[in-house]
Structure 1
């Protein structure tokens, strides 16, 4: 969906397709004609934005076979779908039975991450609508923090420089500017926006910047205005909500302790790298806990649990409720529908409800649908 900011610029709203277990091109075409098309109809919009996730296998196939890439764009157009952003964080198997730390591999010290990301950039330049000149890709915050060395840091610097050079060359060749956003996440080398500022202060800001994930920021106890204070370009906002447990109510989180994804858990004074570790005594029970479990934006879990939706509203205000927007790409990223306790068998209604909720938040800030 497209919305007009009061300053006249266009803000793109989408949902991220990493919620779907599609590893190959037939699977991607199936998710487009299935869930995505139903979401568009439920919302009653002419155009639905997708934050497309492409596995390594699917991306390689599109790069090797231009006719498949052309067919994908035609399919998107026929279904009333458009892509201006890709989620380049997961590399493969994001809806496998167990993902956990594997989502951080290959990291940015590995040349394969650079190759895959530049491949995604070329694909996105071809998928962008004719009237859109800029696309964005989100990526991991360098690596998981353990095993980080000087040698890895040097390799990362070289690979980020090469990424910026590759994106500049792509823009010169296609006229499409693709911007890469590092996504800070608890437990990683870059956990917070302030750490990102220290890392990205001197890079090519025309092509490299931040992807903010609202859930990650809330779990890290960041302030909504922290991102604006960095001075870094915010290429994309991932609209997401964390799970919150008030003091003494943490046992209610047990239903969310599932084996697929990593659920970093933080309190004001402590942290655990997964929810199970926290429940086993890794965090003080007399403090509120925030859990990296993306829960639906529009809904609340059974009491006494709540979500970080108030934080998300404040972050939207900090980024979009001003004279000029600090980002123009907003992606709803609730990838946990398939492991959510009590989740519906058909998630299209849930995704549509999230987008409807987000549309209302943006309208309250003065944005209008186009």
Structure 2
């Protein structure tokens, strides 16, 4: 029988392992050709936007960083404050303007801008105000950087990623929501803390909506490559499902606690988004749970909806979605979340 050789010369059975492991995404476009000059634009210079900017600068990822905000004085102040740190950072050109032309020829546009919820305001009304804001932001970014990848961080991130996709006209692989990448980091931290190991040695995913209806993939948890639940079952070590449920609840409540204590979240989301930017712009092809066009995956058939799934990220944006096994219960939770989001989207008129 003819054998298939991998690039290293090792003989493999005639199986398309990559084809079985990864699923192609819909409406995909190829990667932009690599450029020697990398430019990132951040829209919104609030606490989240500036945490992202600061983290990106320390990682020497961009040659140029452009900041956009509607408040000119604050914007100039933030730009100057970063520029004054030039002696302590890798060389990066930092520019800022209220005019979107400053974002021209960006490789990655990160949107953190969003309307603040007024006390007593409904979620739907807040969404309508954010859609109106995005109708100004997204077309301006597309005009200035038609080959860019859009990353949406503004909340509710799944719906606003869908809105950005519709307004941009971009193929779905070039519009990404930060999704549950941070939720998954919190999940990994809590498991690592529980087991007293390094969080980098923990593999675990939260998928679905970035919010209360997120889904914890318990079967995905491994420590040092060892799947935890199957290990416990093989060793006949008892564990209570309630313990798992409580860990997930803690993941959901983490952000609320931080907001209650300090007024906002910033540093963790800054590191999370910089982590995604690195995978994309350095073509790392790493797996991240991010908000992607989820229609067709795990029998989600309620319409065009963005939810977080483990996706491979590279220079073209979302390259593939990993075929991660999930239980019937997890799949049902995912589909229920998709229907809830779809009901809100249908009222937006986008």
Tell me the TM-score normalized by structure 2. Answer: 0.30
Q: Which has the larger radius of gyration?
A: 2
Tell me the TM-score normalized by structure 1. Answer: 0.28
